[in-house]
Amino acid sequence: MEASAVGGMERRGSVYERIRCWLLTQPAAHDLDHFKGEPIGKKVEGVRMLDRFNVKKSFVGVLYLTATHLIFVDPESKKETWILHMHILSAEKMPLTTMGSPLQIRCKTFLSVTFVLPKERDCQEIYTTLQQLSKPVQLEDLYCFDYTASTEEVQKHVGWNFFDLQAEFQRMRVPNDAWSLTLLNKDYELCDTYPRYLFVPAAASTTVLMGSSSFRSKGRLPVLSYLHTNKAAICRCSQPLSGFSARCMEDEQMLNCILKANPNSKFMYVVDTRPKINAMANRAAGKGYENENFYENIKFQFIGIENIHIMRNSLQKLLEACEQKGPTMNNFLSAIEASGWLRHIKAVLDTSNFIVQAVQEGVSVVVHCSDGWDRTAQVCSLASLFLDPFHRTLQGFQALIEREWLAFGHKFVDRCGFLAGDQKEVSPIFTQFLECVWQLTNQYPCTFQFNERFLLALHDHVQSCQFGTFIGNCEKDRLDLRLHERTYSLWGYIANHMNEYMNPLYAAEENTDVLVPNLAPQNIRFWRGMYCRFESGVHPREVMSDMLLALCDHSSSLEDHIRLLTKRIDSLKAKIDSKKKSGETKVEEKIEDCVDNKTSYDKEISEQDEDVFKDEKVDSLVTVEQLASELKSVAVEWKTLRNVRECNCSTPFDHFSRKCHCWRCGEVFCTRCIDKHTALPGHDSQRAVPVCRTCYKELRRTFSVDSA
């Protein structure tokens, strides 16, 4: 089948073949119908979408299968459900019922829906097509290689150069006299799952590095992950190939070099994040853990984060807990408990906290698990997040993911199950990391620059494969695939949507310290916003963070407008004054009032503004028409977000859909209707701000009138 697609032998073929063919020969795809710009591979009418909680209540509509999405349109409630093929975790055909043939679809975004198709044949066809589309066989078939952003969006290259590993270490003042850059891995020869630039103790010789690498699983030798200001370092690696008794002088020297790189401590910790029993079992396979007797001045510590299989099963149970039909409070709580999910989250947080405590006391830490790309990635990145305020900003958080997850080779392809194949490798490791961050944001509401929506967006886009950022298992893979040329970067997309992801309560001046969260079990919460995201009924009906975000945007718009108003008032005032001085008009009381008003506002004008204002006076070309359009272009009042159930385009809003205001008319729209950004005449800064399509057209019209 793959061969037929590549060979271009289309003919009638299966739906899958038609879709693949269309993807390969995009411009020539005239023969397919389109739904909102998406070519339709298959259309089924009379499909019923079941409501999980209310079997009697179901929607009947049309199901479209396109090259990239499964789309259900319910004409009555105007609701559209778009499911990205890449988001589909599993599709399952259920036993035939009187209503038809049910197809249950579970998504990696934790959406779970059941469609009932009238004909069994249609169901079978869609089922097999989805099987193929949701799990391509090779990386080149992933969505990102076909995805093109609309022209208004970002350019392809944007975002790929935002983060640079060397610059990131530069920020930590590395290289320095204790730590240096090694080019041994320039061609990925030392370790192919590591980045090409590695930072190691300056004292470690090439022999030591190569020897240590050969003594570590997958060659993942201990390298610098984070250097704290007190010279204590966090280093990461994989397990040593110690077996029951093997030892390696170079590896021992390597660890000693790491210890010596920190002049402030006589010992360091080696943290094995696995449960002791797992580490012991590994010894039989010639792997294992460091023997405290062989390594000088190390303190060895087991922590006990479970492995990927236990995590996968735990998430499965957690989702089952959320999907119970009409559970009682106790059913729900005991199911959550039985899943063990929160226990695992706490274990990851506790381990990170342990490392942070050590680093704060000036003790360096070497962290590993088995291969050092799952648990190690989790705890190293969290430890950096605890320690370094920079990583709690939007920029810094992306840099952290780039460093600890992408550069150091977290296997996103395998863990997220992008391709068909072994599903035993799939595990929610990155999801757990995001959840840990979310747990921290609960305790530190003003310390993180980003909001919950950002974490959710990250989660979804890691799974979506829409961007090339998370494709490949390591840096080398990404280079080989030439992703930076062929695909878009998620960071470019995020840079364009920054205002959606801001935490309005963020106070930069409070984001300075090391985080000391309280990790008592009472403080570890169930993340409803992630795992019950699509249960529209269970969320707060008024979303405070969205309201605050709108409030901040509104304030910012008004500030801009006020600057312009002040400017205009001053310039008019000056003109009237000069006119008066030339003795042509009488002084009126009214003007005196204005003078009083003006002086009070003058105080608030900044120096800079006054400079601008002087310039303005030179070319003072303000017309009445211009003033009118300036006033018209800024909404002083914005519509409240409360009880806004749908956008003007009648797309219904649910809990997590972003509701945007048009800065010109102050009405509320969905993100799709507010894709235009333009400068408003009423703003001083002339920056581009979001406006609705109607306002955009009107602004365009006045511009053209003006220029004519």
Partner 1 sequence: MAQKHAQSRLLITGNLNNKQFQGHEGLREFLILSKCGFELWSLEKWSLSSSLKLRELTISHHLILSARKEGVEELWILHQNIDAVERKPNGMVGGTIVVKCKDFRIIQLDLNSGYEKFVNVANSLEWLSTLDNMTLLYPFFYRPVYNMLEDGWSAFRTESEFSKLLVPGSNEEWRISYVNKNFTVCRSYPSAVVVPKNIDDETLIAASKFRHGGRFPVLSYKHEGGSVLLRASQPLAGPGVKRCKEDEKLVNSVLGPGKKGYIVDTRSQSLAQSAKARGGGVEPEAHYPLWKRVQRPIDRQAVYLDSLAKLVDACNDVSCSIDKWMSRLESSSWLSHVKDSLNCACVVAQCIDQEGASVLLHGSEGLDSTLLVTSLCQIILNPDCRTVRGLEALVEREWLQAGHPFSLRHKKSCYSVGGSSVVPGGNKSGVIKGQQACTFLLFLDCVFQIHCQFPCSFEFNTHLLILLFEHSYSSQFGTFLGNCEADRERLELSKKTVSLWSHLNRPEVLPSLMNPMYEPNSKVIWPSVAPMSLILWRELFLRYSSASADGVSTRLKAASENTLHLNIKDKELRSKAAKLRRQLMELEKEAIEIGVLESPTSALLAESADATTGGTEVVAKNNSYP
| 685 sits near partner 1 (criterion: CB under 8 A) | no
Q: Would you count residue 643 as binding partner 1 (CB under 8 A)? A: yes
- Hey, which residues between 483 and 512 contact partner 1 (CB under 8 A)? 504-505, 507, 510
Encoding tokens for residue 615?
Answer: 């310039």
Tokens found for residue 478? 């990404």
Footprint of partner 1 on residues 343-372 (CB under 8 A)? 343, 346
Q: Helices 375-387 and 341-360 sit at what angle, rounded to 10 degrees?
A: 50
Nearer to partner 1, 134 or 511 (CB): 511
Q: Name the amino acid, one letter, at 569.
A: I
- Catalytically annotated residue among 257, 369, 380, 692: 369
Q: Kindly state the smallest distance separating residue 455's Cβ from partner 1, in Å.
A: 18
Q: Which of 588, 592, 615, 706 binds partner 1 (CB under 8 A)?
A: 588
Region near partner 1 per CB under 8 A, out of 82-90, 132-140, 477-485, 536-544: 536-544
When the beta carbons of 352 and 473 are compared against partner 1, the nearer one is: 352
660 is an active site residue: no
Given the rule CB under 8 A, which of 3-11, 139-147, 169-177, 321-329 is the region that contacts partner 1? 321-329
Binding status of residue 526 toward partner 1 by CB under 8 A: yes
**Residue 611 contacts partner 1 per CB under 8 A:** no
Question: Minimum Å distance from CB 586 to partner 1?
Answer: 9
Residue 641 near residue 550 (C-beta atoms within 8 A): yes
Per CB under 8 A, does 297 bind partner 1? Answer: no
Q: How far is the CB of 643 from partner 1 (least distance, A)?
A: 7
Residue 2 CA, chain-centre distance (Å), reads 32
Q: Interface with partner 1 includes 320 (CB under 8 A)?
A: no
Among 131, 128, 146, which Cα is nearest to 420's?
A: 131
466: three-class secondary structure by DSSP: coil
- With CA atoms as reference, report the closest residue to 88 among 67, 60, 64, 69: 69
What's the sign of the alpha-carbon dihedral 479, 484, 490, 491?
Answer: positive
Binding to partner 1 (CB under 8 A) within 171-190 occurs at: none
Shortest Å, Cβ 548 to partner 1: 6
User: Is 36 among the residues that bind partner 1 (CB under 8 A)?
Assistant: no
Q: Which helix (H) or strand (E) holds 106?
A: strand 101-107
Q: Is 322 near partner 1 (CB under 8 A)?
A: yes
Q: List alpha helices for 582-692, DSSP H.
A: 589-602, 607-618, 624-632
- Shortest Å, Cβ 621 to partner 1: 11
127, with CB counted inside 10 A (0-12, 13-18, 19+), is middle
- Asked if 655 touches partner 1 (CB under 8 A), the answer is no
Residue 210 lies near partner 1 (rule: CB under 8 A): no
Q: Identify residues 376-395 at the interface with partner 1 (CB under 8 A).
A: none
Q: Which residue, chain included where needed, has tokens 């259309």?
A: 43
705 binds partner 1 (CB under 8 A): no
Query: Does residue 597 belong to the site contacting partner 1 (CB under 8 A)?
Result: yes
Q: Whole-number minimum distance, CB 633 to partner 1, in Å?
A: 9
**Under the criterion CB under 8 A, does residue 585 sit at the interface with partner 1?**
yes
Residue 111 within binding range of partner 1, rule CB under 8 A: no
Q: Would you count residue 518 as binding partner 1 (CB under 8 A)?
A: yes
Q: Is 333 in the site for partner 1 (CB under 8 A)?
A: yes
Among 569, 612, 644, 679, binds partner 1 (CB under 8 A): 569
465 contacts 487 by C-beta, under 8 angstroms? no
Could you tell me how many residues of this chain bind partner 1 (CB under 8 A)? 87
Q: Of the two residues 97 and 330, which places its CB atom closer to partner 1 in the complex?
A: 330
Are the beta carbons of 242 and 295 closer than 8 angstroms?
no
**Distance (Å, rounded) from C-alpha 122 to C-alpha 133?**
16
What angle (nearest 5°) sits at the alpha carbon of residue 20, between those of residues 154 and 144?
A: 25
Name the burial class of residue 387, with classes exposed (0-12), middle (13-18) and buried (19+) by CB atoms within 10 angstroms of its CB. buried
Q: Determine contact, residues 315/431, Cβ cutoff 8 Å.
A: yes
Residues in Cβ contact with 389 at an 8 Å cutoff, skipping those fewer than 6 apart: 396, 447, 511, 512, 513
Which of 24, 605, 631, 644 is close enough to bind partner 1 by CB under 8 A?
631
Radius of gyration of the CA atoms of the chain, in A: 30
Structure token pair of residue 204: 């470690």
- Taking CB under 8 A as the criterion, the residue among 246, 552, 605, 644 binding partner 1 is 552
Nearest partner of 202 among 230, 231, 162, 167, judged by Cα: 231
Q: Which amino acid is at 332?
A: F
Our finding on whether 537 is near partner 1 (CB under 8 A) is: yes
Does 532 bind partner 1 (CB under 8 A)? Our answer is yes
Q: Is 661 in the site for partner 1 (CB under 8 A)?
A: no
56 binds partner 1, rule: CB under 8 A = no
Q: Work out which of 264, 555, 606, 650 binds partner 1, going by CB under 8 A.
A: 555
Restricting to residues 220-279, which ones interact with partner 1 according to CB under 8 A? none
- Compare residues 126 and 349 and give the one whose CB is closer to partner 1: 349
Residues 422-481 binding partner 1 (CB under 8 A) are 443-447
Under rule CB under 8 A, residue 541 binds partner 1: yes
455: left (phi over 0), alpha (psi -120 to 50) or beta: alpha
Helix (H, G, I), strand (E, B) or coil at 705: helix
Q: What is the dihedral of CA 648, 649, 650, 652, to 10 degrees?
A: -90
**Catalytic residues, which ones?**
369
